[in-house]
Every structure is written in structure tokens, then in C-alpha cells.
């Protein structure tokens, strides 16, 4: 359905083949989902929503670890944006080294893997530094990095 809409509105002509189409089309998918949610006040029934909340198999997210990861990533971004991009594309977007190589115009897959390895090492060292700080000092660092 979305593909047909893109063809009808000639938006498909905007695709310049610089990245895999799945990454290019994500904003359009997001727009379709948001429009659907705006038209339907409750796109998910209350029963389904409550059953998800009661599901014991669903783990409770560890917000402290998430915040710690966010702080470390912010620091990595400030120090080396290329490593941060590679780390994000590998871990969050689950892209292959070959796709990252093409997207970021990196000379080889081995270089992508090396950048990722170094980014992971930096993230671990940032995490270790954070964990060694006293709680009050950690909060100050949190506000400084945010």
C-alpha cells in the first residue's frame, strides 16, 4: 500500500539508491502509522493493551542501564562521530558491515569492523569510568553530557 502511494505521488523518484531502500522508506512508514493512530483514537483494544502489561514474560526495562548507555554514547558522539555512527548502525539498526561501508563511504568492511571494535572498547571504558564515580559526581556528569 505504501509503495503504491509512493508511486502515485512520484515520491519514489526521490530515492537516489544511496542506501538500502528499507532505510530510506522508514520515515514514510512512520508517517503512515502516525496518520492511522491519529484517525483511530484507540488503534489497540484495551484488552490487548492490558494483556501486554500483565505479561510476565516481558522484562521490566532497566532504565539505569539505558541512561548509562545514553551517557556513554553522548560522550562517544562528542569525541568521535564516525565511531558513534558505526556503533549506532551496528547495534541499533542492525546493519551489516557491508551496508555501513557503503552508507558512510568507508574504504572496506574490515575498517568498519575495526571502527566498531574501537567504539565498543571506548563505550566500555566510559561505562567503567561512570561506575567508579561517586553517585553525586555521576549526576553532575549526567547533566554535563545531556
DSSP string, 65-111: HHHHHHHHHHHHHHH-HHHHHHHHHHHTS---HHHHHHHHT-S-HHH
Q: Is the pTM value of this prediction over 0.85? A: no
121: left (phi over 0), alpha (psi -120 to 50) or beta: alpha
pLDDT digit string, tens, across residues 13-61: 766 666 676 777 777 777 777 777 777 766 555 555 455 445 455 555 6
CA distance 13 to 34: 23
Amino acid at each position: 500500500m505504501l509503495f503504491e502511494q509512493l508511486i502515485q505521488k512520484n515520491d519514489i523518484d526521490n530515492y537516489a539508491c544511496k542506501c538500502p531502500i528499507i532505510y530510506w522508506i522508514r520515515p514514510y512508514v512512520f508517517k503512515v502509522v502516525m496518520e492511522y493512530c491519529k484517525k483511530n483514537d484507540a488503534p489497540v483494544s484495551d484488552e490487548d493493551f492490558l494483556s501486554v502489561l500483565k505479561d510476565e514474560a516481558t522484562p521490566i526495562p532497566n532504565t539505569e542501564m539505558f541512561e548509562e548507555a545514553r551517557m556513554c554514547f553522548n560522550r562517544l558522539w562528542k569525541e568521535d562521530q564516525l565511531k558513534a555512527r558505526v556503533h549506532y548502525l551496528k547495534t541499533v539498526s542492525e546493519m551489516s558491515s557491508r551496508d555501513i561501508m557503503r552508507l558512510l563511504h568507508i574504504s572496506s568492511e574490515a575498517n568498519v569492523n575495526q571502527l566498531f571494535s574501537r567504539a565498543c572498547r571506548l563505550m566500555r571504558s566510559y561505562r567503567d569510568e561512570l561506575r567508579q564515580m561517586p553517585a553525586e559526581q555521576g549526576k553532575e556528569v549526567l547533566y554535563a553530557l545531556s
